Amino acid sequence: MSQSDIVSFEPATGVELWRGKIGNVAEAVDRARRAWPAWAAQPLATRIELVRRFANEVRKDADRLAETIARETGKPMWEARTEVESVVAKVDISVNAYAERTGQKKLDSALQGSSAVRHKPHGVMVVLGPYNFPAHLPNGHIVPALIAGNAVIFKPSEKTPATAERLMACFNRAGISAAVAQLFIGGPQEGQELVAHPGVDGVLFTGSARVGIAINKRLATNPGKIVALEMGGNNPIVVMDTPKISDAAVLIVQSAFTSAGQRCSAARRLIVKDSMYDPLMQEVKALTSRIIVGEPFAEPAPFMGPVIDNDAAEQLVESFLYFLSHGGKAIRHMTRPDNDRPFLTPGIIDTTAIKDRPDVELFGPLLQVIRVADLDEGIAEANRTRFGLSASLIGGTPQDYSRFWANVRAGVINWNRPTNGASSKAPFGGLGLSGNHRPSAYYAADYCAYPVASTEMEQPRASVGVGFSEG
C-alpha cells in the first residue's frame, strides 16, 4: 500500500472496500476560498433549493448509500437505512432551523433610521466526521453550513471514506460544485493541517474527546476561527422504582448496545437503586443474551454488528478484563467469537466495588453497573464524570424527574427514554469533555453564521450637541 493511500476495509469481512489518494491541504483550501464568494452571493432561496435537490439525490441513491454504510461500518442494514433517512430529513429540519435561529429583524425609527440584524456566513468551514455515523453526523454540519452560505471541506474519518465519497457525490450531482461541497481524503496529519490552515474560518468536529481537546488547544490563540466540538460521553442511565421491569430492561439494552455501543450518546453506566437491582439485572441479562450479533446482511437481521476494527475490539476486551481484575463482578462476560474479526458479545459488569472507576468513554458494547441507595446518591454518581452529554432516568415520580433534570449535568436529559436516539429537531450537545457549548442538530445554524447588527439611514443626518462652541 502506498503511503499516500487511504484504504477502507469492511469490519465484518476484512475485505478491502475502498482505496484513494490523500489530498493536498493547501490546494483544497485555495479551491474552497476561490469558490466561496460566488456561493455566498447566491440568494438564500437558491441555496435552499440546491440542498433540497441534494435530498432528492440521496433518495435516489438510498439503497446503494445504505449498503455502503453497512459494509464500511459493519452496522446492520436496517440501521444503515435509518441513517440514510436521517440524512434526507436533515434538509427540511435545517431549512426551518436557519429561518428560526438566524431570521432577519428590523426595527424602524423615523428620526434614528432603522436597526437591523442579519447573518453572514463565516467562509470556508472544515467538517471532520466520525466513523460511527459516517453520513448522518457530518451531514448535520454540512447542510446547515451550506444553507448559511459557507463553502465546506469535508474530511471523513479515514475508516469511512467510501461513505463520504458517495454522500458528497449527491451534493455535487444536485448542482453544488465540488469546490463548494468538497470531499477531502486524509488521515490525522491532514486533519491537523486543515484545522491550523489560515484560510479555514471554522472547524466543525464530531469525534473523541482526545482529538477535540487537541483541536481546542491548537486554536486557543485564534479566537477568530469558529470551533464547534461534539465529543463523547460517559453517559449514565439511572433506574429508580418502577413496576415496568421488562420495559426498563429494553430501554437499557437500547441505550447501551444499539450500534454495538458505538454512539456518543450510548449508556456507559447503569446506576441502579439497590431494591431494583436483582429483578432488573435478571431481566437485562436475559434480554442481552437474546441479542443477535452478526454481519450487516445476515438473516435473521442482527441487532448489532462488529465494532469498527480489531484494535477497538481488543481495547474493549482489555477494558472488561481490567474491571474484572480490579474488583468488578461479571454479570455477562464480553466475548470475542472470532479472533480475526471485531465481533463482540455485549459485556455487563458490576463495578460498584471499584473505588476509582476510570472516567473514560469506552466506545463499544460494554456496560458498567453501579448500585446506589437512593436518587440523591444516583444523581451524585451520574455526575461523577468530566463528560456531560446525555443522561436518562428510568422510573421514579415526576418530582424525582424534576430533581434529576435540575441536578444532572448533561446537554440531553431524558425520562423513561433511552440515552440515545436524540431528535434532530432539538439541540444536541453536551458540556465538560462532551462539547464546547455549541450544540449541533437544530442549533447548528448558530455556529454556521454570525449575527451582524446595523443602524441605517438612506441619507446622512446628524447634529452636534453638548461640548461644542457656537460656530
Residues designated catalytic: 230, 264
Amino acid (1-letter code) at residue 293? V
Find, among 95, 57, 49, 68, the residue nearest to 171 by Cα.
Answer: 57
Specify the pairing of strand 412-415 against strand 449-456: unpaired
Q: CA–CA separation, 347 vs 332, rounded Å?
A: 5
Residue 253, SS3 per DSSP: helix
Contact 259, 266 (CB under 8 A): yes
- The single-letter DSSP state of residue 5 is E
Distances (CA, A) of 310 to 11, 12, 187: 8, 10, 18
Q: Residue 136 has which C-alpha cell?
A: 448522518
Contact 187, 152 (CB under 8 A): no
Distances (CA, A) of 14 to 7, 260, 311, 366: 12, 18, 13, 23
Residue 314, SS3 per DSSP: helix
Angle at which helix 209-218 crosses helix 188-196, to 10 degrees, equals 30
> CB-hemisphere CA count at 13 Å for 71?
15
Place of cell 446506576: 271
Helix (H) or strand (E) holding 114: strand 113-121
Cis preceding linkage at 300, omega within 30: yes
Beginning with the edge strand found earlier in the chain, give each strand of the sheet holding 366-372 in spatial order.
Answer: 329-332, 347-350, 366-372, 267-273, 235-239, 390-394, 412-415
Q: Residue 7 has which C-alpha cell?
A: 484504504
Q: CA–CA separation, 399 vs 409, rounded Å?
A: 18
Contact 265, 235 (CB under 8 A): yes
Place of cell 426551518: 96
